Structure 1
Amino acid sequence: MVALGSNLAGDFASCEALLEAALAALPAAGLRVVARSGWWRSAAWPDPQGPEYRNGVALVATSLDAEATLQALLGVEAEFNRRRDQRNAPRTLDLDLIAYGRQVIATPGLTLPHPRAHERLFVMGPLAEIAPGWRHPVLGRTAAQLAAEATVGTDAVLLSPLGRR
C-alpha cells in the first residue's frame, strides 16, 4: 500500500495532474496499481501556512520485496524532482510505503507498517475509501476505525469520489 502526496505541482497544471502522472509511472517501476482512492485535500502539515496538499492511496501488486519496493518508490519520486533537503518541506511528490501485506519490519532503512500513517486522516481516509476493512498489522484496527480516530490532518476531505471525476 502506497500513500501519495503533493503540494507543489512542478511542471504539471495541478497537484492532481502530477499525482495522476505518478500513478501512471508506478507500473514501469514494477508496481501494478490494483485500486486507488480519489484525491483528498488537506492543509499543509506541520505548518498550515504552506500550500495545501493533495493526497491519496494506491493498493499495488508487485514481485519486489519490501525494501526493493521502497527503492522503486524513491526512484519514481526522483523522476518527479522530489527534493529531500528539509523535513516536512513542500514537495512535488511524496510516496510512502504504508504497509507491505501483513509484514512487520523494523530495519534502519524501513519500518512497516509506516509508524505514523495510522494517525493521519489524509492517509487513513483515502485507504478507508477503497479498503475500509483493511486491518493494521500491529494495531488490529480497520482503516475505517483508524480514519475515525485520526489526530493529524483532521481537516482532510475527499475532493471527488473516483466515480464522479
Structure 2
Amino acid sequence: MFTSMNNAVFLLLGTNLGNLGDNLAAASHHIGERVGKIVRASSHYRTAAWGKTDQPEFCNQVLEVETFSSPEEVLALVLAIEALLGRERKEKWGERLIDIDILYYGHRVVQSPGLIIPHPHLQNRRFTLVPLCEIAPEFVHPVLLKTNSELLEQCPDQLAVHKVDE
C-alpha cells in the first residue's frame, strides 16, 4: 500500500564483517531500487562496537530516502534487503554483514510490537548521531523535540566516531 505523499525516511546502515565499503554500497543500491530515492547520504564513519564490544569495529552511514511506502512497508523492505545481502540474525548487537535501522519516518511516531519510530536508542548513540547530523542537523526529533545537533551535544555515549576517507 502506498501513502498519498512521499515521506522522508532516515536509515542507519551498519556493517562490521566482510568488505565494509562494499556492504554499504550494496545496501544503498538496493535501498535506492526498492525503498525510494536517496536524496542525501552521509559520509562513512567508523566506530568501536556498541553494546557488545568484543567484535570488529563498525562502519556506519545515514541515508535520507524519499519514499511512498508506509513505515511498515519500509521495515519489510529493509529486512528483505538485509536478508538478500546475507544478514543472519544470531545475537543482539552481534557481528553483521549489514544492519539497516529506521531512525525517523518524517515526523511520525510509530509504536507497534515490531516497529518503534523514532528509533528508541537514537539519542544515546554517537555513531548514529554524527552521520545523522552531517545530513540533517536541524531535523527535530518528534518525541524529544530537540534537533539532531542538540541530541548529539547531549549524547551520553563517548565512543569515538571517525570519518572514513572515501
Same fold (TM over 0.5): yes
Count of matched residue pairs? 157
| One-letter amino acid of the structure 1 residue matched with residue 28 of structure 2 | L
The separation in 2 between residues aligned to 1:143 and 1:79, in whole angstroms, is 31
Write out per-residue CA displacement over residues 13-62 of structure 1, whole angstroms, 9 at most, x where no aligned residue. x2012101110111221322110100011001223331000011000011
Equivalent residues of 2:15, 2:97 under 8 A apart:
yes
Q: Which residue of 2 aligns with 1:114?
A: 119
Equivalent residues of 1:43, 1:153 under 8 A apart:
no
Higher strand share: 2
The separation in 2 between residues aligned to 1:43 and 1:86, in whole angstroms, is 17
Judged with a 3 Å threshold, the aligned counterparts in structure 2 of structure 1 residues 153 and 78 are, in CA distance, closer, same or farther, namely farther
Equivalent residues of 2:48, 2:159 under 8 A apart:
no
Q: Which residue of 2 aligns with 1:3?
A: 12
Q: Offset of 1:153 from its aligned partner?
A: 5.7
Unaligned runs of 5+ in 1: none
Unaligned runs of 5+ in 2: 1-9
Equivalent residues of 2:35, 2:65 under 8 A apart:
no
Equivalent residues of 1:122, 1:153 under 8 A apart:
no
Query: TM-score normalized by structure 2?
Result: 0.90
Superposed structure 1 runs of 4+ greater than 3 Å apart: none
Q: Offset of 1:112 from its aligned partner?
A: 0.8
Q: Which residue of 2 aligns with 1:133?
A: 138
| One-letter amino acid of the structure 2 residue matched with residue 85 of structure 1 | K
Give the superposed CA RMSD: 1.2
Q: Which residue of 2 aligns with 1:54?
A: 59
Identity of aligned residues (%): 33
Q: Offset of 1:154 from its aligned partner?
A: 2.5
Matched, 1:36 2:79: no
Q: Which residue of 2 aligns with 1:81?
A: 86
Query: TM-score normalized by structure 1?
Result: 0.90
Equivalent residues of 2:52, 2:94 under 8 A apart:
no
